[in-house]
Amino acid sequence: MKKLFTLSALLLATVVFAQDEPKKLSISGSVDTYFQTYLTAPDNIEQSFGTSFANQTGFALGMANVIASYEGEKTGAVADLAFGTRGTQAAGDGPDLYINQLYAYWNVSESTTLTMGRFNTFLGYEVISPVANFNYSTSYLFSSGPFSHVGLKADFALSDDFSLMVAVMNPTDVNNNLVGGYALGAQVGYKGQFLNFYYDDNEILGLEIDYTGGFDLSDSFFLGINGAYQTMEDAGFYGAALYPQVAATDNFSVGLRGEFFGYHEKDVDDLPSVFATTLTASYTLENLIIKPEIRLDSWSNDMPYYKNSNMDMSENLAAFTLAAIYSF
């Protein structure tokens, strides 16, 4: 892996320095780390929130994210690498080095772009990188849907207000297609509101319909909205989340995520639904973002997510988290 990474870097450098025009290579990324303690249970209890990331107690690591992008006159490429727990959880258990995104694109015209490779999902309000999320911990809707896709997509700017995206992909989160069949995706956008569709017939995710959007209710008050419904032959999930956020100053904001999430399955009647409330403050100092957060999840029965089925579990779990995120 080290040899492959070194060779790729040398090839990229050779291409860049061979150009007569000014370099258009840019490097960006982030690092994040956090401390978390449970408020309603001992920190060593074998129980956690039923969502991805930020699910360890004590001092813990998120990920280091390094993004190299090259932009030509009509074409370009992005290599987005992640190192650490957050990145490997996004791809399932795997190596420490994780390819978050890896794609090339072609601006066919001013209104049409073709992209091929691995790209983060178009569904949902939240994303893998903590830099773009207001809350540090993630929602059930985000954790249950796809993280990334490998395929070909076409983006169309139909007007100043309308956009359209269509895609053909491997089934969700699959780098190579070993299951047969493909997935289809689409997104319709209007003034910052997006209606998203995903479908595969391989029982990987099935059909998911997702709405993501938000409104500036005042100069300092923003309300984000996410709702989704997913179904397969015998199971699926549904839910909705609201994200009210208030900017007190240019550097300090407070936001709340209130989410309801549930399952539907024909043969099982007692899968838990959950109401999760997350209160987050965000303070920015230069490129450093400090996020203290309090979260409370309340399940409908005694089947919350946990790591050890022999433990007695509570129907409620609360935690305090302090996260530090640095972007560059």
pLDDT in tens, 213-237: 999 999 999 999 999 999 987 789 9
Q: Return the pLDDT at 264.
A: 84
In a domain, 299, yes or no: yes
Burial of 269 (0-12, 13-18, 19+ CB in 10 A): exposed
Q: Return the pLDDT at 302.
A: 55
Range of the domain at 193: 26-327
In a domain, 105, yes or no: yes
In a domain, 19, yes or no: no
In a domain, 193, yes or no: yes
314 pLDDT more than 50: yes
Encoded tokens for 318: 């609360």
The CA distance from 258 to 277, in Å, is: 5
In a domain, 96, yes or no: yes
Q: Return the pLDDT at 194.
A: 98
Which residue in the block uniquely carries the two structure tokens 């997935």? 183
243 pLDDT more than 60: yes
Coil/strand/helix, residue 53 = coil
CATH (domain of 39): 2.40.170.10
Q: pLDDT above 70 covers what percent of the chain?
A: 84
Nearest to 116 by CA among 132, 105, 127: 105
For residues 325 and 292, the answer to whether their CB atoms sit within 8 Å is: no
Q: Which residues, in sequence order, are bridge partners of residue 25?
A: 70
For residue 198, CA distances in Å to 35, 208, 229, 241, 274 come to 35, 5, 11, 19, 24
pTM of the model: 0.86
Encoded tokens for 71: 């932009």
In a domain, 304, yes or no: yes
In a domain, 135, yes or no: yes
Give, rounded to a whole angstrom, the gap between the first and last alpha carbons of the chain. 25
Nearest to 82 by CA among 147, 179, 154, 168: 147
The CA distance from 282 to 286, in Å, is: 13
Please indicate whether residue 212 or residue 96 has the higher confidence score (pLDDT).
212
Encoded tokens for 134: 């207001």
150 pLDDT more than 70: yes
| Structural domains counted in the chain | 1
Encoded tokens for 246: 């208030």
The CA distance from 44 to 107, in Å, is: 51
The CA distance from 196 to 153, in Å, is: 13
Query: Residue 15 phi/psi, 5° resolution?
Result: -65, -45
The CA distance from 92 to 147, in Å, is: 10
Weakest-pLDDT range from 138-142, 179-183, 257-261, 274-278: 179-183
Encoded tokens for 203: 């029982």
Burial of 271 (0-12, 13-18, 19+ CB in 10 A): middle
Weakest-pLDDT range from 85-94, 144-153, 290-299: 85-94
